[in-house]
Amino acid sequence: MMPTQFGSGFVNMDMKTHLRAGLWSGIFTGLLVGFIESTFLLFNTGSFLANFPFFIRASLLYALAGAVGGMALAVLLKNSLLRTPSQGEEPILSLPADKLKSFYVSILLPFSLFVGIGAYLLDIVFPLLSRNFSTFFYLALTGLFSIILGVGLFKFFPLSKLGSERSWFIPVSFMVLAVVYQGMLLGAERGELRGYTSRKSPAPPPKPNVLLIVMDTTRADHFSSYGYRKPTTPHIDKLAKEGRLFTNAIAPSSWTIPSHASLFTGVYSSKHGMGYLNSYLSEDLPTLAEILSKNGYRSLSIYNNPFAGEMVGLSRGFDKAIGVDLDHRTSLTIERLFQRLVYNDVGSNARETVDAASNWIATTAKTGLPYFAFVHFNDPHTPYRAREPYFTEFKKDINLNQVDLSKVAQVNAHRRSFHKYLNGEVQLSSADFEYLKALYDSEIRSVDEQIGRLMDSLKEKGFLKNTLVIVTADHGEYIGEHQWMSHQFLYNTVLRIPMVFWYPEQIPPGIETRYVSLVDILPTVLSVAGLKDQIPVHTQGMNLLPEGSQGINLVSLTGPRTVFSEWWSWVPADTDQSSPNKSKALLKFTKEAAKDIATKAIFDGDWKFIWLSNGKHELYNLANDPEEQRNLIEAEPEKAQELQAKLEQWLGSFQQARVTSGSGKKEFKDMLKSLGYVQ
């Protein structure tokens, strides 16, 4: 092999010289990359996360990683391309001795930047199911940039004295300049925060903080506090024991957008139109965050599902909105890789979510302002991933010999895989579904652990004083029930959600059995905050606090309560929802299809009536048939007519949603496809 000639004297250096060069080149590269990443995160998220300790940690982590990587590279190259040739053998690569450190930096720095930028492209710009030719084009462009940078560093960046006894000024000078620059940026951020605080100083008495935790795709009957046989939620169970547990909380819809819109506006889907008529929240509907922010609260939305954030207008009113690994990066690349390898957090952002929320609350608490933090976890969503050690524990009672792991893998490979079961391509046994449930349960348990970590952290720092904590979900999940997977239609498997209120010394512990809904959150929170007069007149939820009570003591509700749920499907009007393989036509999202199948449910006492626009209505007595296995639509026609009349009366009591200018966005439809709602 002919050597690449750049000079002479390079290959004859001993291993010690190479290790020293690799060490110093790695430290230099690590410091530079740590500075770049922490500065990026400062502008991307804010000083509450990328503060000075974060900057120091980033510098130390990357300097250490660079040192290890540089020495490993030195060993690798010294024993391959840069090995000392045998007698009469031509060297593979020969370079001038004064270019040694430049050579190592020209490899380490471009490679580090390629990994960091590549990870950002794959995580944020092109998430898993939206990757296409553009993804590879930008990765190739990043690779080309890295190569050009490497060549430029080698040719024009002299580092021959880096690491010598008299050249400490290079890394020291860099660190001093970096610290000064970081301090200037943080100073500017804090100055902005002080101005913000002066504009929002709340009037006495101090208002309570509000921590609203939402677990995506989480059904109540898989919580141990709701009687589930597996210990899936020990930390939430503790909150439920000390607070108020609602056993009949009903989601206003069976999927993310309409349920979150109802949560933030206090109105049902027919009123806000989100998720079927509109892909963006109407400006006519004030949100909980808007009302609280106008009344002295500092507010945060940290979400892990794009359908709970900025893309659909649900971040409106929040002072800070962060889409973890969706719109924003909230941790260093090196930390992310470590967490995914050590904690098996592939596809999970729960740990980063808790870290970011905890830091933001700590920063806000120092301002003296009350906070409203919306913290959203998406982990229980498909595809289900084994979270250890919980999965090993939860699968113990499953006969693994009866599980067809190949079929399980086919329906659980990615977000759209469940369609293979719905369209009849893959048939699953009861053992297969039990295996999927064990995976699902392990994700719930993993999120519960992170919620416990968040609560412990805030409690230890004193940031839970005078704080209302609400834990709930946007909807549940089918795992074989009614021959469904994922979350469609309006059976209780996807509508019955957990709801826990925790406010020590203010809300007495207890269990509430009457129907409540996510639309009740807005009026209840505003009442707790002393803002009853700010509850919008169009609100369709109810204040779960007794009128005229002293303080904010929550007492057991009495009397009948009727709640509603709605879903607009993407299937033809002649589809039978109660038949197996019902969703072969769950293929395209169009407004025409959405109008063809409108599904609405009314809960009234022991009865539940499901109205379908195709006329195939269903009726269930939940007291006798909680699993909704016996459709009584023909056996109880009078009860069906009574409930349909109530439903129609309710729908006629308010102005229903109309199409707004934010509707029909291509990115909205593309996101529906990427998340598996349509094919």
| CATH number for the domain harbouring residue 570 | 3.40.720.10
205: in domain: yes
Check residue 23 and give its pLDDT. Answer: 87
Neighbour-count burial of 123, counting CB atoms closer than 10 A to its CB (0-12 exposed, 13-18 middle, 19+ buried) = middle
CB contact at 8 A, 250 and 515 = yes
Which residue, among 613, 604, 615, 676, has the nearest Cα to 646 in the 3D structure?
Answer: 604
The helix or strand, by DSSP H or E, that contains position 212, with its residue range, turns out to be strand 209-215
User: What residues of the chain score a pLDDT lower than 70?
Assistant: 1-13, 82-98, 125-131, 158-205, 325-327, 339-348, 415, 546-559, 569-596, 659-679
The reply to whether 120 and 236 lie within a common domain is no
**Cα dihedral 243, 247, 251, 254 sign:** positive
Q: Which long-range contacts (CB under 8 A, 24 or more apart) does 220-223 make?
A: 220/247, 220/249, 220/473, 220/476, 220/496, 220/497, 220/498, 221/476, 221/493, 221/496, 222/437, 222/440, 222/441, 222/444, 223/444, 223/498
186 and 213: one domain?
Answer: no
Residue 545 and residue 661 in one domain: yes
Give bridge partners of residue 372 from the DSSP assignment.
Answer: 210, 299
Residue 257: both structure tokens together: 């957008």
For the chain, the C-alpha Rg in angstroms (whole number) is: 29
Neighbours of 550 (CB within 10 A): 6
pLDDT of the residue at 585? 31
* CB-neighbour burial class of residue 389 (10 A; exposed 0-12, middle 13-18, buried 19+): exposed
What's the confidence (pLDDT) of residue 677?
A: 55
> Residue 484: which domain range?
201-674
User: Can you list the positions of beta strands (E) in 142-185?
Assistant: none
Q: CB-hemisphere CA count at 13 Å for 585?
A: 15
Residue 639 has a pLDDT of 95
Amino acid at site 414: H
3-state helix, strand, coil in the chain (%, to 5): 45, 10, 40
How far apart, in whole angstroms, are the C-alpha atoms of residue 200 and residue 346?
A: 40
Among 73, 81, 76, CA closest to 101:
73
Cis ω for the linkage preceding 389 (within 30 of 0): yes
* Same domain (yes/no): 129, 258: no
Q: Which of 477, 522, 475, 473 is nearest to 499 (CA)?
A: 473
Query: How many Å apart are CA 162 and CA 104, to the nearest integer?
Result: 12
Residue ranges of alpha helices (H) inside 461-607 are: 492-495, 521-528, 591-596
Instruction: Looking at the structure, tell me whether residues 567 and 549 fall in a common domain.
Output: yes
Instruction: Output the pLDDT for position 673.
Output: 57
Q: How far apart are CA 513 and CA 266, in angstroms?
A: 21
Distance CA 458, CA 297 (A): 18
Q: How are beta strands 496-497 and 249-250 bridged, if at all?
A: antiparallel
Identify whether 196 is part of a domain: no
User: 140 is written with which tokens?
Assistant: 């190739």
Last residue of a domain, one of 172, 191, 210: 191
Q: Is residue 651 part of a domain?
A: yes
Which parts of 249-348 fold into alpha helices (H)?
256-265, 269-272, 288-294, 333-342
Work out the angle at residue 568's Cα, subtended by the Cα atoms of residues 566 and 570, and round it to the nearest 5 degrees: 155
pLDDT for 591:
35
Quick one: pLDDT at residue 327?
63
- pLDDT one-digit tens code per residue, 468-519: 999 999 999 998 888 888 877 899 999 999 999 999 878 889 999 999 999 9
What is the predicted pLDDT for the residue at 163? 54
Residue 97, both tokens: 């001795």
Q: Please check whether residue 175 is in contact with residue 62, taking contact to mean a CB–CB distance below 8 angstroms.
A: no
> Quick one: which of 449, 496, 498, 446 has its CA closest to 472?
498
Cβ 425 vs Cβ 417: under 8 Å: no
User: What pLDDT, on the 0 to 100 scale, is given for residue 613?
Assistant: 84
Q: Do 241 and 182 fall into the same domain?
A: no
- Structural domain ending residue among the three candidates 169, 191, 213: 191
- Give the whole-angstrom CA distance, residue 498 versus residue 225: 9
In a domain, 371, yes or no: yes
CA angle (381, 387, 388) in 5-degree steps:
170
Query: Quick one: which of 98, 37, 112 has its CA closest to 70?
Result: 112
Final residue in a domain of this structure, among 135, 167, 191: 191
633 token code pair: 């639509």
Residue 388 · residue 442 · CB < 8 Å: yes
What's the rounded Cα separation, in Å, for the pair 300 and 324?
13
Q: How far is CA 584 from its chain centroid? A: 29
**Residue 23 host element (H or E):** helix 15-44
Beta bridge partners of 375: 213, 302
Residues, the chain, total? 679
Do 426 and 407 form a contact (C-beta atoms < 8 A)?
Answer: yes
Residue 252: predicted pLDDT: 96
Structural domain includes residue 471: yes
235, 342: one domain? yes
Query: How far from the centroid of its chain's Cα atoms is residue 293's Cα?
Result: 23
Same domain (yes/no): 487, 573: yes
What's the pLDDT tens digit per position in 583-593? 333 333 333 33
Are residue 484 and residue 466 in the same domain, yes or no?
yes
Three-point CA angle 171, 172, 178, nearest 5°:
85
* Same-domain status, 205 and 186: no
Residues 168 and 305 in one domain: no
Instruction: Report the C-alpha gap between 612 and 635 in whole angstroms.
Output: 18
**Number of domains, the chain:** 2
Number of CB atoms found within 10 A of residue 18's CB: 23
Q: Is residue 679 part of a domain?
A: no
Closest to 57 in 3D by CA, of 35, 89, 88, 40: 35
Residues 114 and 243 in one domain: no
> Residue holding tokens 């090196």?
334
Q: Structure tokens of 577?
A: 């929802």
Tokens standing for residue 135: 């993804």
